[in-house]
Structure 1
Amino acid sequence: MPSTTNVLDEARQLVQNRLAELDDERKRLERALAELGGKATRRAPGRPRGSSNKKASASTSTPRRRKRRGGTRADQAVNLIVGEPGISASDVAKQMKIKPNYLYRVLGDLEKEGRVKKDGRQYYPAG
């Protein structure tokens, strides 16, 4: 007569093998469903919980941005340069109460756009 542990081990192994077969079949069916345009029952690998492919509702689709008061930093800088031609970037930054290293980037973009001209350390309105 076979021992009880061998019978249990064999039964456990049979159940595990069958579960593996069923799991493979489930995965194939989910892939087929996804290719047909249906919704798969599981999230895709690497996607965090709660994320999905579906679109958000209209109320949460795009958060409303506030309109900036007084225009953008670039517009503010141009207005200061027009009002005071020959002003340096550090003086513009002080008047705008922002860090000069940020303003240098803004002024570089303004210079590329042709809105201001740089002569040495001074900035002048273009045109």
Structure 2
Amino acid sequence: MSDFLTEKRDEIQARLDELAPLIAEHDRLQRALDALDGVDNSSSGSRSGGEKSGSRGAGRPRGSGERSRQALALLRQEPGLGAAEVARRIGVHPNYAYRILPGLEEQGLVEKKERLWYPKDAA
């Protein structure tokens, strides 16, 4: 049984090692996409007549919730993290975590105790 467990652990570790560069690339691309949110793509500084102030072009809509989902999944896996640690783990600036965590709290998905965040179902 010990050999079986060792073999399975080695297989899992090998697969994790294979996936690590892809995860790192995903995180880099997500950060780049987040950084591009709100950047005006137009070559001129003026808006067309039908375009409303604050409207966005193609791409991931603002507030699509990807980072919120990542933060919630992390807190479900490891309850009791501070906002800065959540930010570090999901690859965003701490200010961003301080913005999304209260939103999750308003939705009743997480709660803050002292300075730590917990998923509502595990608190």
TM-score, normalisation: structure 1: 0.46
TM-score, normalisation: structure 2: 0.48
Greater share of helix? 2
The structure with more radius of gyration? 1
